[in-house]
Amino acid sequence: MFINNFSTCQETHGMTIHNVSPVRGGDSFLFVCNDVTFLYDTGFGYCSEVLYENVRKVLGERPLDYILLTHSHYDHALGSAYLSVMYPEVKIVALSYAAKILEKESARNVMRRLNKDAALTHGITEFNDYIDHLHANMPVEDNDLIMLGSHKVRIVSLPGHTRDTIAYYFEDEKIMLGTETLGMYVADGLVMPSFLVGYQMSLDSIEKVKDYDIDAYFIPHWGLIEGEDVNTFFADSLKGHILGHDTIVNAYKEGKTHEEIFKIFEDLFYTPTVTEVYPFSAFAENTNIQIPMVLREEGLLKLEK
């Protein structure tokens, strides 16, 4: 039911990275450095107690200093609620816009529903709900420079997946902890786009990361890539976004219905790799947002009044 990958760790630039994810799709990675510890996203809420145990097995009595949230979606942020109870001194970093979303009751209600759906896909019907503890106590803005121990970290706003999506760029180490705006590998050379709020916005974000000198890039739901693989991923990301966009637009111009466009998109991107990370309900929800969003952005579909 749950996975424990304590043997799955990587070392780079003086950092040890532990995969402490309780389940695939609710991924969380623990970074342990000489002078600081931090989590990169925290996954679902329903398995956050297991996440805490995984973190404790690595840290022992050492504190968790920071949680770095890439955006406010339930599969990235909800685990932070329970961790904030167990580590009351932890600093939870998120874009200030995301911090406001996390405290909205309407947003929390949506997260509760999606969190419950995710639990059911793993056969879990009962779990503790800590969403009322959800918050970010270290709100940041684009281009802010923060210190994580001795590490200088630049906040990089990369909207497109959501409006509150950010990456974290470690200036001295030249490492970027990335975002879903740039997508995720779903097959060799194929990146699935996830432009939920803007296609052009996502293209602009892909271009923006090219301004940074990046030796290593961490792909959400995937892992660390280094060296020339970084530039390859950015190129594949751009191609994947254009492919996703053109697939939707061309199918619409051919007279395909929404359901037919969905099936074409599914056949292209819902690969066996994706099924390990996204339950079909989550993929469907995202795709059903992407299709009309692209068509509206292209002026092919009128905004609903």
What would the pLDDT profile of 172-226 be if each residue is shown by its tens digit? Answer: 999 999 999 999 888 889 999 999 999 999 999 999 999 999 999 999 888 888 9
- Find all residues with CB under 8 Å of 258, minimum gap 6, and list them: 288, 291, 292
DSSP state of 139: E
**φ, ψ dihedrals at 220, nearest 5°:** -55, 145
Split at pLDDT 50, 70, 90, the class of 8 is low
Predicted model pTM: 0.94
Task: State how far the Cα of 251 lies from the Cα of 268, in Å rounded to an integer.
Answer: 13
- Provide, rounded to the nearest whole percent, the portion of the chain with pLDDT above 90: 81
